[in-house]
Amino acid sequence: MKGESSETDDDESSDDDGEIPIERKAKETLKKRSKMTKAVQENNLQTNISQSETFVLPSGQEIEKESSHPHALEHVHQRIKDVIAVLSDFANKRDPKRKRQEYMGVLRKDLCVYYSYNDFLLSKFLDMFPLSELIAFLEANEVSRPITIRTNTLKTKRRDLAQALISRGVNP
């Protein structure tokens, strides 16, 4: 009897609201959706604010000072990313006082420092490739090529060769 009375109390309370359980669940999901959309909108707003900040191009003295320090490669790499971001959307993200050639000059110098290429070669690469492909090209050149070892299979057995390579620290 106690179980029956509690069920009827629940039914009566839901009847008082005039809602069935499905309607309550629908309202709950609508509330959750509205909270999620508000959170997404706030996140997008923060993203737009951070994207709208303009990159300040450093002076020549600052670049020379940073390039002389070995730990400055992280700063140089971040500046390369920032300059590429500015050049990709130049109309919106640029400093109105600076020309595109200034950004390209800073990018070329930073790429020379970061990837250890000379100025002439990197300027030719900049002429040949768009920026996104240039970075992919330079990164691909940083990866070492696989080593191929040739051996005379008539004189050397595979097992002996594998043991010799493993003892020298080479993965066969």
Mark whether 69 and 109 lie in a shared domain: yes
Mark whether 64 and 122 lie in a shared domain: yes
- 66-125 confidence digits (pLDDT tens): 656 666 788 889 889 999 999 988 888 888 888 999 999 999 999 998 999 999 999 999
Domain extent at residue 15: 2-52
- 119-152 confidence digits (pLDDT tens): 999 999 999 999 989 999 999 999 888 878 888 8
Whether residue 10 has pLDDT greater than 90: no
Token digits of residue 76: 């140089």
Mark whether 30 and 86 lie in a shared domain: no
Structural domain includes residue 164? no
- 42-53 confidence digits (pLDDT tens): 766 665 555 555
Q: What is the DSSP string of 121-157?
A: HHHHHHHHS-HHHHHHHHHHHHSPPPP-----TTTS-
| pTM confidence score | 0.53
Give the chain's domain count: 2
Mark whether 47 and 76 lie in a shared domain: no
Domain finish residue from 52, 68, 94: 52
Residue holding tokens 């070892």?
149
Mark whether 12 and 44 lie in a shared domain: yes
φ and ψ at residue 102, rounded to 5 degrees: -65, -45
Mark whether 20 and 77 lie in a shared domain: no
Residue 111 CB neighbours (<10 A)? 23
Structural domain includes residue 161? no
Structural domain includes residue 127? yes
Report d(CA 172, CA 116) in Å as an integer.
31
Mark whether 103 and 37 lie in a shared domain: no
